[in-house]
Amino acid sequence: MSGRPAPAGAAGRQPHRARAASRAAGGERTTPRSAVRLGPRLSSLSLERLLRAGPRPEPAPLPPARAETGALTFGIVVFPGSNCDRDCEYVLREVTGVQTRMIWHRDPELGALDAVVLPGGFSYGDYLRAGAIAAVSPVLGAIRRFAEGGGLVLGICNGFQVLCEAGLLPGALIHNRDARFHCAWTYLRVERTDTPFTCAFAPGEVVRMPVAHGEGNYFAEPATLAELERERRVLWRYVDARGEPSPQANPNGSLHHIAGICNAAGNVAGLMPHPERASESLLGGTDGRRLFASMVRWLLERRRG
């Protein structure tokens, strides 16, 4: 039985808090500080219709010509103990179609790259705190400069932990609520689609990606959480099959059921679920590859114009 989320306004479903608040206040939907215009802009009317209708089948994005995609280079950072670096490299090369380069944690410079991916794993054995030792690696200086220059940086699982420890994203990832490692498919709701990481999704779309972590419980102080919600920097939220957030649907106890966020400028994002594990139908789902496709689409549009 397929699960379509209940339409907006049905009992129990809360419209996105920020939108509701601003509409109630009579104001326009607020845009983040670094508004990056991406793709076709939806009128507020069509947006309402989308939200009411629930998730649509995967929108058919115009695939960029292979030659164009192949002109992009994504770097994948390898820390001692990274496990998913080769997985990310494989998907980016074979499925997404970009050039790839592995970046060693001691490299002081990144070289010419269009995007940087910090993959999952157990960098430094998760010793001290997950991501803490990697966060002081030499390569982080280069990643910081790359991000400050507007480069795209994506942290997956341990990569997200590294970005938080390094201060490139707010908050921290602590032990899962039940103190256990969880490896399972989860539903996520894509909260906004005008970012470099989500522009190939439909607003409010419910997608499936797997998690595999023991320390994926997102924590931030109330003021930070409020800011994240207000600025719509929560990009992915844990939900059930119907698209509703709930404690049962939350695999780790993350505050606000947060699965992934972005920075204020919108060019650095982190998420605990593994999009590279949801990029081929043979392995159980393809929603994840649209995250990488979003980055490609955004980069190519930026190049073009």
- For this structure, is 157 an active site residue? yes
State which residue, 249 or 299, has the beta carbon closest to another protein. 249
Distance from the Cα of residue 131 to its chain's centroid: 17
* Residue 73 to residue 76: CA distance in whole angstroms: 10
Residues near 65 by beta carbon (within 8 Å), at least 6 away in sequence: none
CA nearest neighbour of 115 among 304, 294, 273: 294
Please say if 94 is a catalytic residue: no
Select from 69, 176, 250, 267 the one that contacts another protein (CB under 8 A): 176
* Binding flag, residue 253, another protein (CB under 8 A): yes
Encoded tokens for 46 = 């069509």
The least distance separating another protein from the CB of residue 236, rounded to whole angstroms, comes to: 18
The verdict on 174 binding another protein (CB under 8 A) reads yes
> CA-CA distance, 27 to 150, in Å (whole number)?
29
- The smaller minimum CB distance to another protein, of residues 29 and 106, is found at 106
276 is known as an active-site residue: yes
Mode of pairing for the β-strands spanning 217-219 and 234-239 = unpaired
Closest CA to 64 of 31, 36, 39: 39
Task: Pick the closer one to another protein by CB: 91 or 259.
Answer: 91
- Pick from 184, 223, 248, 305 the residue near another protein by CB under 8 A: 184
Name the minimum Å distance from CB 6 to another protein. 21
The token duo for 140 is: 């982080």
Tokens for 301, please give them: 């549009």
- Please report, as ranges, the residues that interact with another protein according to CB under 8 A: 80-81, 83-84, 86-87, 90-91, 120-122, 124-129, 132, 136, 165, 171-172, 174-184, 210, 212, 214, 217, 219-221, 253, 274, 276-277, 280, 282-284
Please identify every residue annotated as catalytic. Answer: 157, 274, 276
